[in-house]
Amino acid sequence: MALGKTESRHGMWSSRWLFVLAAAGSAVGLGNIWKFPYIAGENGGGAFVIIYLVCVAIVGIPIMMAETLLGREGRNSPINTMRMLTQQSRSSGFWVVIGWMGVLAGFLILSYYGVIAGWALFYIFEMATGTFDAVTPDIANQTFNNFLANPWLMLLCQTLFMGLTVYIVGKGVIKGLETAIRWFMPLLFVLLIVLLVYGMNSGGFQQGLDFMFRMNWESIDADAWLIAMGQAFFTLSLGMGAIMAYGAYVPGDTSITSTIATIAILDTVVAVASGLAIFPVVFANGLEPGQGPGLMFVTVPLAFGQLPLGALFGTVFFVLVSFAAITSAISLTEPALAYLVEEYNAKRARVAKSLGVLCWLLGIGTVLSFNVLADFKVFDRTIFEFVDHISQNIMLPLGGLLIAVFCAYVLPKAVVKSQLGIENSALWWLWKLLIAVVAPLGVLVVFIVTVFPCAQTLSCFGA
Ligand code: PHE
């Protein structure tokens, strides 16, 4: 069977490597630098890293391959790609829900992602101006709390970040996305190496290594598996069409299998390297690796503030986080943006502005949930927690599940085979097994246990 259209109307990545960088740019973000080090440390260190790798290998990589091949076959935004593929395979229009849900999930994630990334922007300024030079833990804490208590300042930072995102995506796939990716990704790798070397010389490297890599198998329980699987999804940007949208711009002769494996490896390397950059400076100061936002916005600045040239390297750290966040944010807008351009023949820059404003408005909910509306709860969660939960824990796994099932059971085998171009029959059967059985089952289990936490203890069933 011939491949789908050979080009997308939105433009094409200039080479296989640009797709690798773009998808890695989407994947590498706050999930790697802020979340991964902390959850790995809290969940058994090395043992957790291993189960996370298992999740990436048996669920993440197959679903990422599926998204890419669907995108390349359809050559359109996820919504129109799914429309086309359901017509082509004469299957139910229900599957287009993959596209719609992705657009919605992208919106919801970006609404809070922009706020947290705005914090990183603010911290570039704070580090550079020496706010954290030799401060006490109390003052570091106070600085973060004062910032959270100031909705106007937070709004300003969120606006800056969203403005930058809109500017880049409005310029188009080649002039906007590719240019940003060509600059930001290599810089990101360089900055990470600089920080790693700094961490190695900080005096806490051995402790950092021990913290990240001790094989603490006792702490691996059902919960740790859940966290590992959820993290694999979020960090690889799966289940919401970002990779499908990027897949639409992949040249026809690029091997999906090896390219996706490279992207997943890059993403994991960055996550592990971030841990090895962060923990040594934390331990070098005799600090405890705190939890959640506290690690990146209190402990890390505090730690840098105590070290020689700390203001400089702390600034570098937050520049790194901001670059990582912006290349993820641009991918969050792509499914909706491409769809609106296709549907209304609209100018990309105009659509980008409207989408940006909508997302910005939605993000105000997150801004306020840290101060004015801190006590306002939706199903026991603040607005931020609620939006985060719905998008990350429900929509992404559900999207991933539907993508796996569509690819394995609905799309004609000939299409999948020609897109993947796997010659080796053992490899083909391995892929089939993963996408048709292992990935959907894995996601289903995680999904059920996350949505119905009582299923973990069987208490929902009266046990
Ligand atoms: N992968 C990004 C991160 O690790 C977040 C993201 C999720 C981006 C879904 C796009 C789509 O921070």
φ, ψ of residue 381 in degrees (nearest 5): -125, 150
Q: Is 50 exposed, middle or buried (0-12, 13-18, 19+ CB in 10 A)?
A: middle
88 inside domain: yes
Question: What is the model's pLDDT at position 456?
Answer: 56
Which pLDDT score is estimated for 333?
Answer: 94
Distance CA 74, CA 236 (A): 21
In 3-state terms, what secondary structure has residue 203?
coil
Q: Is 454 helix (H, G, I), strand (E, B) or coil?
A: helix
Query: Global pTM?
Result: 0.91
| DSSP 3-state of 307 | coil
Q: Is 230 in the pocket of ligand 1 (CB under 6 A)?
A: no
Q: In this structure, how many other beta carbons lie within 10 angstroms of the beta carbon of residue 15?
A: 12
The whole-number mean pLDDT for each consecutive block of 10 residues of the chain, a chain of 463 residues, reads 65 89 92 86 83 93 96 94 93 94 94 95 94 85 92 96 94 83 86 87 88 83 82 92 95 91 94 89 77 75 84 90 92 94 91 95 95 90 90 88 96 91 88 95 83 59 46
Whole-number pLDDT of residue 461? 46
Q: Is residue 8 part of a domain?
A: no
Q: How far apart are CA 323 and CA 300, in angstroms?
A: 18
What is the DSSP annotation of 95-161?
GGHHHHHHHHHHHHHHHHHHHHHHHHHHHHHHHHTTTTTT--HHHHHHHHHHHHT-HHHHHHHHHHH
Question: Could you identify the atom of ligand 1 that is nearest to the CA of residue 28?
Answer: 4
Q: From ligand 1's centre to the CA of 297, what distance in Å?
A: 19
**Closest by CA position to 325, among listed 115, 78, 128, 36:** 115
Assess contact for 128 and 311: CB atoms under 8 A.
yes
C-alpha to C-alpha distance for 400 and 306, rounded to whole angstroms: 44
**Which residues are registered as beta bridge partners of 93?**
none
The reply to whether 124 falls in a domain is: yes
Q: What is the CATH number of the domain that holds 213?
A: 1.20.1740.10
The answer to whether 24 touches 182, Cβ cutoff 8 Å, is no
Ligand 1: does its nearest atom lie under 6 Å from the Cβ of 27? Answer: yes
Cα–Cα distance measured from residue 320 to residue 303, given in angstroms and rounded to the nearest whole number: 17
**15 Cβ partners below 8 Å, 6+ apart?**
251
Our answer on whether the CB atom of 231 is closer than 6 Å to any ligand 1 atom is no
Please report, in angstroms and rounded to a whole number, the separation of the first and last CA atoms in the chain.
52
Specify if 4 maps to a domain: no
**Which domain, by its residues, includes 94?**
16-451
Look at residue 294 and tell me if it is in a domain.
yes
Q: Report CA(130)–ligand 1 centroid distance (Å).
A: 31
CB of 274 closer than 6 angstroms to any ligand 1 atom: no
77 lines ligand 1 (CB under 6 A): no
**Best probe residue, ligand 1, of 67, 181, 236, 237 (max atoms within 8 Å of C-beta):** 237
Q: 432 CA distance to ligand 1 centroid (A)?
A: 26
Question: In sequence order, what are the beta bridge partners of 378?
Answer: 381
Q: Rg of the Cα trace of the chain?
A: 22
Contact 431, 57 (CB under 8 A): no
Does residue 327's CB lie within 6 angstroms of at least one atom of ligand 1? Answer: no
- Within 10 A of 342 (CB to CB), how many other CB atoms are there? 17
Ligand 1 touching residue 107 (CB < 6 A): no
Which atom belonging to ligand 1 lies closest to the Cα atom of 27? Answer: 1
Q: Which pLDDT score is estimated for 455?
A: 59
Tokens 């912006």, residue located: 326
Whole-number Å distance between alpha carbons of 65 and 229: 17
pLDDT for res 1: 36
* 429 token code pair: 């059967």
d(CA 200, CA 276): 8
Q: Is 328 in the pocket of ligand 1 (CB under 6 A)?
A: yes
Distance 91 CA to ligand 1 centre (A): 30
With a CB cutoff of 8 Å and minimum separation 6, the contacts of 357 are none
Residue 423 class from Cβ within 10 Å (0-12 exposed, 13-18 middle, 19+ buried)?
exposed
**pLDDT of 368:** 96
| Domain membership flag for residue 119 | yes
Among the residues of 285-395, which ranges form H helices? 293-294, 300-306, 310-344, 348-368, 383-388
Q: Is the CB of 239 inside a 6 Å radius of any atom of ligand 1?
A: no
Pairwise CA distance, residues 218 & 224, whole Å: 11
Residue 7 lies inside a defined structural domain of this protein = no
Total structural domains within the chain: 1
CA 115 – CA 133 distance, rounded (Å):
25
Of 394, 390, 387, the closest CA to residue 369 belongs to 387
Q: Residue 3: what pLDDT?
A: 43
32 lines ligand 1 (CB under 6 A): yes
Q: Take residue 236 and report the two structure tokens written for it.
A: 């690889």
456 located within any domain: no
Ligand 1 atom at shortest distance from the alpha carbon of 332: 10
